[in-house]
Amino acid sequence: MSANFQKGSGKGAGNKQRVIVVGGGFAGLNFVIKLFKNKDFEVVLVDKNNYNYFTPLLYQVATSFLDPSSISYPFRKLFRDKGVSFRMAKLLSVDTVNRTIELSNGRLSYDHLVFASGSKTNFFGNEELRKKTLSLKGIDDAIYMRNELVKTMEKAAVEQDPAERKRLLTIVITGGGPTGVEVAGMLAEMRKYILWKDYPELENSEAEIHIVDGSPALLAPMSDKTHADAYATLSRLGVKIRLNTRVASYDGTTVHFSEGDPIECRTLIWAAGVTANVYKGIPSTSLGAGNRMITDVYNQVKDLENVWAIGDISIQETDAAYPKGHPQLAQPAIQQGKTLAKNFRRAGKGRPMKPFKYFDRGEMAIIGRRHAYADLFKHRLHLRGLLGLLGWLFIHLISLVNYNNKIKTLYGWVVAYFTKDQVLRMIFRSRAGSRQS
């Protein structure tokens, strides 16, 4: 399908081409930033939240080591005097013929529609797991998980039945990717350094942390060295690891697996995968594996005119190095957002677009406060120890959207590193937002 960038035919102010961006995560925000104060395009960002947040550090909010404001920033403040409009709404449907979208608070017309709305937790159709587990895809999830973990500790502190107390103090994490491994490491350090200080009633109680994954290694996409390092580090922290094993069911009390003995626990954290968001009006022929929108080398969606997709929601099968699509990570999303914006600017001036080419800078993970690992440049360089930690800290700090976030996060890390503690283990409930009392 072709894309129309003809000047003077736009639906925006002053006959500018109106570009609606759905989703303000890594891909969407980097696309928008590259079009600040652009003379050819009127940019409107649509997001269900009024803030951007830094996904890789959600687990630190969930485990009480960072405050939500350390990793989030309001869109409207970010877009001041930048020539970008913002609409807080949910996308309900798309009319690709008339080039309109239906939102939860009205309708908008577009010349170009850019999907950057990412993915959601994949429960593989198991409604029981969706209802009874904790997941981690947004700030709301992180705050809810933090509340539930603290509430569970409070229940355990007054529980007189040893068997029930053990169930309350047992946590199972399913998914051995970065989120699962990082949550397991942080919880293990909390158990080691904090639990008995905050809850002296639990000093002699059993508290177990299990991590389960269906693959033969933790952090499977990373190098063999990282697989071994992650396994050894979590084992030293007392985390019990089950590989080549999948969760079959969970009833709120007992986790059953594809093989092996069940585990009794009151907390199951689900970090086992994601699937793309799907919208009414997008034909099934435009969707590929994981419901991701199939795009060409310029990130235009298959069978649709003037509709584009970047980040987790996009699957580009034209890259010989990634025939099943690029990984659903921050770096591909950032690079696709920037590249598409540059291509819009080229097209707006009548110049040809350039195909997207992913540059793999590598992958990182951290376990606890100081065990960080990095596989850089397609696993050619493996970092661990102090170099790994410094690399992880630097990359995550510079990736935060604002200096305010960088300062808050760095301060939180310094306090946590030297004190092995934080002071954020407080339960805050909203009247309508709490799922349980």
- Per-residue pLDDT tens digits for 351-377: 999 999 999 888 899 998 889 999 987
Domains 13-48+89-121+274-348 and 127-272 share a fold: yes
Over residues 15-29, the pLDDT tens digits come to 799 999 999 999 999
- What is the percent of the chain with per-residue pLDDT over 90, rounded to a whole number? 71
Q: For 13-48+89-121+274-348, CATH number?
A: 3.50.50.60
What is the pLDDT, as a whole number, of residue 436?
A: 44
Q: Rounded to whole angstroms, how far apart are CA atoms 125 and 117?
A: 21
In sequence order, what are the beta bridge partners of 93? Answer: 102, 280
- Residues in CB range of 194: below 8 A, 6 or more apart: 420, 421
Kindly state the average pLDDT of the residues 217-237: 94
Q: What is the dihedral of CA 258, 260, 265, 270, to 10 degrees?
A: -40
In this structure, what DSSP letter does residue 313 have? G
127-272: CATH topology is: FAD/NAD(P)-binding domain (3.50.50)
**Over 60: is that where the pLDDT of 388 sits?**
yes
Kindly state the average pLDDT of the residues 383-395: 86
Q: Residue type for 219, please? A: L
Give the C-alpha distances (Å, rounded to integers) separating 228 from 197, 319, 363, 364, 393: 32, 30, 15, 14, 22
pLDDT interval class at 7 (50, 70, 90): low
Q: Residue 267 corresponds to which tokens in the numbers above?
A: 């907390």
**Over 90: is that where the pLDDT of 214 sits?**
yes
* Phi, psi (degrees; rounded to nearest 5) at 46: -115, 125
What spatial distance separates the first Cα and last Cα of the chain, rounded to whole Å? Answer: 52
Q: Cα–chain-centroid distance for residue 381?
A: 25
Which residue ranges make up each domain of the chain? 13-48+89-121+274-348, 127-272
What is the pLDDT, as a whole number, of residue 206?
A: 87
